[in-house]
Chains A and B, each alone.
Chain A
Amino acid sequence: DTEVTQTPKHLVMGMTNKKSLKCEQHMGHRAMYWYKQKAKKPPELMFVYSYEKLSINESVPSRFSPECPNSSLLNLHLHALQPEDSALYLCASSPTEGLSYGYTFGSGTRLTVV
């Protein structure tokens, strides 16, 4: 299995809703990442988990809450989002955190906040 699987593929949520994005990989990768991508822009790093511990938080608002229950799973909990949070949310993984490997990206969750 050489894939990163993200669910759901599309999500529409109201500003008062609570929802979660899920990401799963079975490649034995120990680093997992959340990126946010707006239309016609590059992906922006949000969070990095290394060996299931939060390694980097790129000053992301607290309405985004990451969780890494085990080495294969990564969640992003969403609460009280704003319309400007609408974007493509990408999960990625790599064998370890660091500079030696390319990242494998999932196909993303396209989020619309109404």
Chain B
Amino acid sequence: GQQVMQIPQYQHVQEGEDFTTYCNSSTTLSNIQWYKQRPGGHPVFLIQLVKSGEVKKQKRLTFQFGEAKKNSSLHITATQTTDVGTYFCAGTRTGNQFYFGTGTSLTVIP
């Protein structure tokens, strides 16, 4: 599968601080999806971005797809302890399958 890299690999924040994870591909992505996996849990679908430059919001979460469709970001405003988990982007270049990025593990310190 293709390599979709995410940075940072790990992030520790104080509760109330903001958090951003970045997803980068060396090739143009058709679509990108974001998933959250709680510790000991399974991935849960958050959102899909399709259009160049697209921005979507879900409460405190803001998702962005780059203009060149090679990168994406997830920003969480004022983190809460319930935001703990690993955030994965999943992108596809060709074909009908998504391949997961390397993930960013978020720890929120109360």
Residues of A within 8 A of B85 (CB): none
CB of B42 within 8 A of CB of A56, answer: no
Q: Which of B1-55 contact A (CB under 8 A)?
A: 1, 30-31, 33, 35, 41-48
Interface residue tally for chain B (C-beta within 8 Å): 24
Nearest residue in A to B102 (C-beta to C-beta)? A42
B102 touches A108 (CB 8 A): no
Report A-chain residues with C-beta under 8 Å of the C-beta of B42: 90, 105-108
Q: What string of 1s and 0s marks CB contacts (under 8 Å) between B69-110 and chain A?
A: 000000000000000000010001000111111110100000
- The CA-CA distance from A108 to B41 in the complex, in Å, is 8
Once A45-B1, A99-B92 are accepted as A-B contacts, the answer to whether A105 and B44 lie under 8 Å apart by CB is yes
Minimum distance in angstroms from A100 CB to a CB of chain B: 8
Distance between Cα atoms of A56 and B95 in the complex (Å): 11
A42 touching B88, Cβ below 8 Å = yes
Are B100 and A42 interface neighbours, CB within 8 A?
A: yes
A106 to B30, CA, bound (A): 26
Show the binding face of B for A, using Cβ within 8 Å. 1, 30-31, 33, 35, 41-48, 88, 92, 96-103, 105
